Amino acid sequence: MARILITSAIPYINGIKHLGNLVGSQLPADLYARYCRARGHEVMFLCATDEHGTPAELAAAKAGKPVADYCAEMHEVQAELARGFRLSFDHFGRSSSPQNHRLTQYFAGRLAENGLIEEVSERQVYSNADGRFLPDRYIEGTCPNCGYEKARGDQCENCTKQLDPTDLIDPRSAISGSTDLEVRETKHLYLKQRSLRGDLEAWIDSKTDWPVLTTSIAKKWLNDGDGLQDRGITRDLSWGIPVKKGEADWPGMEGKVFYVWFDAPIEYIAASAEWAEKNGRPEADWRRWWRLDEGAEDVRYVQFMGKDNVPFHTLSFPATIMGSRDPWKLVDYIKSFNYLNYDGGQFSTSQGRGVFMDQALSILPADYWRWWLLSHAPESSDSEFTWENFQASVNKDLADVLGNFVSRVTKFCRSKFGEVVPEGGAYGDREQELNDDLYIRIRAYDAHMEAMEIRKAAAELRAIWVAGNEYLQSAAPWTVYKEDPDQAAAIIRFSLNLIRLYAVLSAPFIPDAAKAMMDAMGCEDDTWPAQMTHAMERLAPGQAFTTPEMPFRKISDEEREEWQARFAGQRG
């Protein structure tokens, strides 16, 4: 049994996320967590809401609420949606938690002690129209590197180049659109990332098993242009974690807070501390996941995120960990994703273009979305959601292949043998042949899941479902029954065991349907198959079962057309 720590990039607090956000981090992380638990591993799966920074302040102001109240409410909304999509977090925390305040201030203090913090007087953009300093992401302009006209002051989303606001051409306030900007002097703390370049480069080079997407982005940021730069970690804001050295005040930094991208990744660690406190566990129970000197030596740490989050997780957050000179656990594997586009364009939160998590659950159960998103995960390149593809995948994979198999087997058994696993007959060459084929396929499925090759795993799982349908069609128990009821009973007994097997294998992808299948079979044995002979004998003759409702229904053309029109334009 291994110990596996899993974190998903934490979603920002200001609003409900769309399906592209979901498939870029939380959903594949949940798939992997469920699979690892099913294989008997000890898993700690953590996520949280990212609550600090200007976007939270502006969203709260727009909602007419104090920012702390707004964040608390939106945390509950996001937590409920996570439950709706069956995301199996061990804890879903908050970056505004007392634990994250303490840890962030602790790390800042350790970095300062180690000579890795520098106070810098800098000239920062101030908006006269807004009456405030503008955080990096609230200054827009043309990227000096690629010419993208909506680059933000911290990063160009088009070419991913790390920027400073003063680099932008024709800058403007993203809050008001005003170009009445001036540069004023202010003092901030900088993390001396350049001092850690050798450590970071050696660490990244050692990760030879990382996805190409992850490594290429990390090395681009490390080496592109002027290379790794020191990074400001404080901001002139009121909402955030106050700047302190541990518990001590930081002279000259009064009224400032830590930059949200400094404190947000530290919340991964803080979330485990929140988990321990919530569950009445001693501090040692969370530290054993994170401290190499307290039991984390054997932990495998895996992060899931969209490609836009890779630079901070491969450079800035590791720099924070390394620079503390404490034995904290560094990530072992980063599974990064490209973007999911929407129906010929992009998802747009501001325009409401695309399907958002709450809307998705309002029209179909979570499993429909989980299956499509995971089986089309944007791993090697961007992928695209279209309603035609979604309809076809649901109708063919879920309804025609898996759902149809479950329905045909259970209904035939009920009509001929009653709602019990039938006795009689014996397995023959056909069953042995399928057993052998499934053994090979399940090993391939395991290999893909272990490697986090999500689309390949989904394709293998679908092939396993298809194999059962082909067996049923070939064995034709409805024909055999007329001449040899005992042999028909053996075919159906084998097929009922296939349903149980499918429930176990499918649970990481479609947990609700898998549970319904398992409950229908009257079986609590969810042991992952090791030997196919034993797997096909879990349901003994005479065991009662119930005939379930059709697990999945088909999507009609009329529904598809209506949804396509509904989610094409403005949200709300």
In 3D, which of 405, 409, 430, 392 has the Cα closest to residue 506? 405
Asked whether residue 402 falls in the same domain as residue 289, the answer is: no
**Is the residue at 167 inside a domain?**
no
Pair (467, 330) in one structural domain: no
Domain co-membership, 502 together with 436: yes
Looking at residue 154, its pLDDT comes to 85
Q: What DSSP state is assigned to residue 314? A: I
Cα 470 to Cα 161, 391, 426, 442, 507, distances in angstroms = 51, 23, 19, 17, 22
Contact 334, 318 (CB under 8 A): no
**Where a domain ends, among 337, 360, 377?**
337
Read off the CATH number of the domain in which 418 is found. 1.10.730.10
The amino acid at 163:
L
Alpha helices in 143-259 (DSSP H): 197-206, 212-223
Where do runs of H (alpha helix) occur along 279-316?
Answer: 283-290, 310-311
Number of domains present in the structure of the chain: 2
Residue ranges for the known binding site for Zn(2+) are 143, 146, 156, 159
Whole-angstrom Cα distance, residue 509 to residue 515? 11
Between strands 169-173 and 42-49, the pairing is: unpaired
Q: Which residues contact 545 (CB under 8 A, 6 or more apart)?
A: 410, 413, 419, 420, 421, 496, 520, 521, 522, 539
Average pLDDT, the chain: 94
Report the sign of the C-alpha dihedral through residues 80, 83, 87, 90, in that order.
Answer: positive
CA distance 434 to 536: 11
* Whether the predicted pLDDT of 413 surpasses 90: yes
Question: Could you say which DSSP state residue 348 is in?
Answer: B
The pLDDT of residue 449 is above 50: yes
> Kind and range of the H or E element at 406?
helix 404-417
| For residue 94, pLDDT beyond 90 | yes
Q: How many CB atoms within 10 Å of residue 363?
A: 15
CA 331/CA 289 separation, integer angstroms: 12
Examine residue 175 and state whether it is found in any structural domain, yes or no: no
User: Which of 57-66, 221-230, 287-296, 444-453 is predicted least confidently?
Assistant: 221-230
- Quote the distance between the C-alpha of residue 92 and its chain's center: 12
Same domain membership, residue 472 and residue 416: yes
Considering only 228-237, 372-381, 464-473, 553-562, which range has the smallest mean pLDDT?
228-237
CATH number of the domain that 299 lies in?
Answer: 3.40.50.620
Whether residues 218 and 299 fall in one domain: yes
Least confident of 97-111, 216-230, 422-436, 477-491: 216-230
pLDDT of residue 61: 86
Residue 572: predicted pLDDT: 42
Domain boundary residue, one of 313, 337, 361: 337
Structural contact between residues 93 and 271, judged by C-beta atoms closer than 8 angstroms: yes
Is the torsion defined by CA of 112, 114, 120, 124 positive or negative? Answer: negative
Query: At what angle are helices 197-206 and 212-223 packed, to 10 degrees?
Result: 160
pLDDT in tens, 381-398: 999 999 999 999 999 999
Task: Output helix, strand, coil percentages for the chain, rounded to the nearest 5.
Answer: 50, 15, 35
pLDDT surpasses 50 at 472: yes
Residue 120 within a domain: no
pLDDT of residue 421 exceeding 60, the answer is: yes
Give the pLDDT score at 537. Answer: 86
Structural domain of 272: 1-112+196-223+259-337
Q: Do residues 272 and 419 share a domain? A: no
337, 367, 397 - which closes a domain:
337
Residue type (1 letter), 376: H
* β 181-191/132-133 pair status: unpaired
| Residue-wise pLDDT tens digits, 507-554 | 999 999 999 999 999 988 888 997 777 788 899 999 999 999 888 999
Q: Using CA atoms, how far apart are residues 121 and 189, in angstroms rounded to an integer?
A: 9
**Candidate from 64-73, 177-186, 476-485, 554-563 with smallest mean pLDDT:** 177-186
Residue list for the binding site: 143, 146, 156, 159, 349
pLDDT band of residue 469 (cuts 50, 70, 90) is very high
Please state, in angstroms and rounded to a whole number, the distance separating the CA atoms of residues 55 and 261: 13
- Give me the pLDDT at residue 570, please: 58
- pLDDT, position 203: 97
Encode pLDDT of 15-59 as tens digits.
899 999 999 999 999 999 999 999 999 999 999 999 998 889 889
Please tell me whether residues 81 and 216 are part of one structural domain. Answer: yes
Number of H-type helices and E-type strands within the chain: 22, 18
Same domain, 10 and 108: yes
| Residues 93, 6 within the same domain | yes
Whether residue 571 is predicted with pLDDT greater than 50 in this model: the reply is no
Overall average pLDDT of the 337-356 stretch: 88
pLDDT of residue 348: 83
Element of type H or E holding 301:
strand 299-306
Q: What is the CA radius of gyration of the chain?
A: 27
**What whole-number distance in Å separates Cα of residue 63 and Cα of residue 527?**
49
User: Is the same domain home to 206 and 69?
Assistant: yes
**Any domain includes 562:** no
Residue 424 within any structural domain of the chain: yes
Which pLDDT score is estimated for 481? 96
Query: What token pair was written down for 88?
Result: 């199996």
Pair (270, 394) in one structural domain = no
Q: How many CB atoms lie within 10 A of CB 152?
A: 20
- The annotated binding site for ATP is made up of 349
